[in-house]
Amino acid sequence: MKTSDIRSRFINFFERNDHTVVPSSSLLYNDPTLLFVNAGMVPFKPYFLGEEKAPFARAVSVQKCVRTLDIDEVGVTTRHGTFFQMNGNFSFGDYFKEEAIAYAFELVTGSVADGNWGFDADKVWVTALHGDTETIDLWQKVGIPRAHIQERGLKDNYWHMGVPGPGGPCSEIYIDRGPAFGPDGGPEVDEDRFLEIWNLVFQTQELSAVRAKDDFDVARPLATRNIDTGCGLERTALLLQGVNNMYEIDEVFPVIQRACELSGRRYGADPADDVRFRVVADHIRSSLMLMTDGVTPGNEARGYVLRRLMRRSIRAMRLLGVGDRVLGELLPISRDAMRGSYPDIDGAWDRIVSVSATEEESFRRTLASGTVILDTAATRAKQAGETSLPAEQAFQLHDTYGFPIDLTMEMAAEQGLAVDRDRFNALMTEQKERARADAKSKKGGAASTEAYRQIRDTGEVPFLGYTDLDIETHVAGIIADGVVTDRAGDGDVVEVVLAETPFYAEAGGQDADHGMITGDGYSLEVLDVQRPVPGLAVHRVRVLGELISGAHARAVVDAEARRGSCQAHTATHIIHAALRELVGPSATQAGSYNKPGYMRFDYSSPTGMSPALRQEVEQRANDAIRDSFEVTSASMKLEDATAMGAMAMFGEKYPPIVRMVELAGAWSRELCGGTHVPNTSQIGVINLVGEQSIGSGVRRVEALVARDAFRQFAAERALVNTLTETLRVQPDQVVPRVEKLIHQLKDAEKQIAALNAAQLRANAGQLTSQVRDIAGVRYLGVELPGVSGGDLRTLATDLRDRLGTEAAVVALIGGADGRAAALVATNDAARGLGLKAGALIAKACAALGGKGGGRDDMAQGGGTKPEAAGQALAAIESELAHRG
């Protein structure tokens, strides 16, 4: 029986039984908690959760699904597939257990002639939740013998979504494949021989908390009892088609056959090869279906999943001996197998061909370079007696060559080496933090490297922006969603390459230019400019009108913003030179960023600046502006520039011919491709506004430049004027006047605190009247709103002494400003009974939403819930009452 026939029989059966046929949703269903639809019930979640009223009482669907958690099991087991189809019938407050069981049994065991699947009833086994006698009785009623019904625990036979929401017991249907597949004894013994095909979920409860599959809290019964079932189409097909696993069914196996033809190897001859064949078959089909639904290979989220699947299939074919391009051979086979159930594949086919070809070519280049590096690193590691590949090497493969970490781990494992995944993740985190610090996070999204290289191969894009901000040129290429295209429409945000450009692409710490590109029938707002590959400037633009590749274009840079960038970049060089002059030659650059009106400069230094040094650096920088240093640039050989003392960024790669920028000759010489003012006097002024540590041995200075610096000075002057008027003093008297006021305020606070403490001690006698006896312990628990931690300690000591030598515990809850402060004190007799202040304060602070600790005789803490003071005192009282 073909898979498409099994599918149609399922739909037709439930349609005959008054179910509304619901088409499959896209794999990219609008659910922020999911990358992809991973279960048949996902499109119905709003109905089960009560967020929307179901438009039908009964429904049937065959839903496309993708799960990636078990990707490493693909090809190894008979049960795991990345893409799969889930048959499901659903009831929203309509029928329940009896009908669901009867429907399932009829379809599974009914005759093929009547439109059913025709399984032998004697081979059917089912499971039920321990103690669910109703379900057991109903299965027996339809004809399943009690010996074929097994009871299992919550982990196996209770279903929920993993989050608060609907849940309920479930019952699973298994088919006995016979002794050739394993021992007898039902699914409890062997789930390879006894293969699950269908899970019937009886939704009856609303869960308030879910900690694990078998650990959750039930809030209340559901308003309506629902049915949610999932029947694996591929698993059903492998049984009805008499094959060994889901990779051999009619919708998957043709890819394996074609892979055998391409490789010259036979499926079934070698276990290792068989795993590779199955990986290829699964991943090719999964990639096909993801691309059909609009996913493009990328480095994040859904795009990363697709890229991983495609690259794993390409690599598996290489391990099978096929070094040529394979996606163009295999994807059409999968298309032909799947198009009967999903005709929309044909509509997306042109895009699939283009995207897959680009991705394969990109990965072929990655493999060529990365494999050599990995093999070399692996050889060195083994020669050194290491059992793992350095995480730094894995990170380089990922960051520089686009090697997915999963692929690196696979290839390392093949050579008997592990990879420190935790260290790799830490390196990735560090990279992301650096990217955020350098304002480069906006780069992460667009086209594949191959698309850029495809355009770059037509020629380099000259940068004319050192001298020209307004040029005539033409559109040399358009990239949309990672693919080269010939046009873009109104409102699109795409990437555009010009034959030459005046726009500065972000580099060397300098932000990208902005401006407009215009032509006949269109205008483009330039949002960003990057150089994803050497020699290529890519403009990220928003389109107004209709843009066609090859169109004439006028490119105009925002001159005011460029001037601001030039001022800020030259200011960065000035600050660098001033630091080297005043701090020393060890103050080398560790990073920078500048944009109109602002600059920051990171430099190596074990210590921070004193206020005096910071003022001196600022003064030296403004002296350089006042002295009107000429700013010049020249292109020369790298070795000549370094011989002249030009500063280079450590770790940066430079071409043979570099551009050196000078300020006052040898005072500042740096290798730099950025744009600058022709004379330092055009900067106006630098206002050093911050200096701080950003890491071990690295400091950061921040400054405002030109107009932004003047605005800051004006704001500070206005603040000083306000203070002089308020305090009625001259500007030079503001600081001593404020210091005097602060001193007076502190004295007043001390006096108030002393008065409060005296008052508390005076009231201590009244508080002792609230002492109660709890299980032989004198207990005084008091709420004192507004009393601080220090005063609580003083008062608790006084009260404890007043309670005498009998076992006594004092608990006080105070606090202010939305926070609670708590203190517990015990005397010697109480501690002799095992009552420790540290343990008691922990109980109190848990109720207050915080933590506490301390010695056995006195402990303190606090929390964010001052309103729970009564509960905190009650928690201590409970501990006293139940001690021992």
Q: Do residues 296 and 306 make contact, with C-beta atoms less than 8 angstroms apart?
A: yes
- For residue range 558-602, list pLDDT tens digits in order: 999 999 999 999 999 999 999 989 988 768 787 899 999 999 998
Q: How many residues does the chain have?
A: 884
Mean pLDDT of 396-413: 75
Q: Is the pLDDT of residue 6 over 70?
A: yes
Share of residues in the chain with pLDDT > 70 (%): 94
Mean pLDDT in the chain?
89
Which residue type, as a one-letter code, is found at position 133?
A: T
Residue 177 Cα distances to 152, 186, 237, angstroms: 21, 11, 13
Name the more confident of 481 and 80.
481
Q: Is the pLDDT of residue 799 over 50?
A: yes
Q: Do residues 119 and 143 make contact, with C-beta atoms less than 8 angstroms apart?
A: no
Q: What angle do CA 113, 195, 212 make, to 5 degrees?
A: 130
Q: Which of 497, 482, 494, 488 is nearest to 449 (CA)?
A: 482
Distance, in Å, from the CA atom of 78 to the CA atom of 192, rounded to the nearest integer, reads 8
Q: Is the pLDDT of residue 848 over 80?
A: yes
Strand 589-595 to 598-604 pairing:
antiparallel
Mean pLDDT of 204-228: 91
Q: Note the pLDDT of residue 442.
A: 35
User: How deeply is 263 buried, as exposed, middle or buried, from its count of CB atoms within 10 A (0-12, 13-18, 19+)?
Assistant: buried
Q: Which is the CATH superfamily of the domain at 562-712?
A: Threonyl-trna Synthetase; Chain A, domain 2 (3.30.980.10)
Least confident of 121-135, 493-507, 738-752: 738-752
Q: Do residues 206 and 219 make contact, with C-beta atoms less than 8 angstroms apart?
A: yes
Residue 459 Cα distances to 248, 359, 453, 653, angstroms: 48, 22, 10, 22
Instruction: List the CATH code of the domain at 443-557.
Output: 2.40.30.130
Q: Note the pLDDT of residue 448.
A: 43
- For residue range 446-495, list pLDDT tens digits in order: 334 568 878 887 888 999 999 999 999 999 999 998 889 999 999 999 99
H/E run at residue 444: none
Q: State the Cα torsion 524-528-533-534 to the nearest 10°.
A: 90
Binding residue per annotation — 569?
yes
- For residue range 254-297, list pLDDT tens digits in order: 999 999 999 999 999 999 999 999 999 999 999 999 999 888 78
Q: Which of 288, 277, 358, 289 is nearest to 325 (CA)?
A: 358
Q: Which of 673, 644, 638, 681 is nearest to 657 (CA)?
A: 638
Binding residue per annotation — 514?
no
Placement of tokens 């050579």 in the chain? 415
Q: Is the pLDDT of residue 298 over 80?
A: no
Using only the alpha carbons of the chain, give its radius of gyration. 36
H/E run at residue 859: strand 858-863
Name the more confident of 815 and 328.
328
Binding residue per annotation — 676?
yes
Q: Note the pLDDT of residue 446.
A: 34
Q: Do residues 629 and 697 make contact, with C-beta atoms less than 8 angstroms apart?
A: no
Binding residue per annotation — 566?
no
Instruction: List the CATH code of the domain at 3-243.
Output: 3.30.930.10
**Residue 362, token pair as written in the block:** 């990109």
Residue 153 banded pLDDT, cuts 50, 70, 90: very high
- For residue range 613-667, list pLDDT tens digits in order: 999 999 999 999 999 999 999 999 888 998 898 887 644 556 778 999 999 988 9
Mean pLDDT of 510-530: 95
H/E run at residue 521: none
Distance, in Å, from the CA atom of 662 to the CA atom of 672, rounded to the nearest integer, reads 10
Q: Which of 286, 332, 293 is nearest to 310 (CA)?
A: 286
Q: Note the pLDDT of residue 432.
A: 61
The CATH T-level fold of domain 770-881 is: Diaminopimelate Epimerase; Chain A, domain 1 (3.10.310)
Q: In sequence order, what DSSP letters do the residues of 347-415 get, joined into one string?
A: HHHHHHHHHHHHHHHHHHHHHHHHHHHHHHHHHHHHHTT-SEE-HHHHHHHHHHH---HHHHHHHHHHT
Distance, in Å, from the CA atom of 733 to the CA atom of 495, rounded to the nearest integer, reads 58
Residue 158 banded pLDDT, cuts 50, 70, 90: very high
List the chain domain ranges. Answer: 3-243, 253-437, 443-557, 562-712, 770-881
Q: Do residues 756 and 764 make contact, with C-beta atoms less than 8 angstroms apart?
A: no
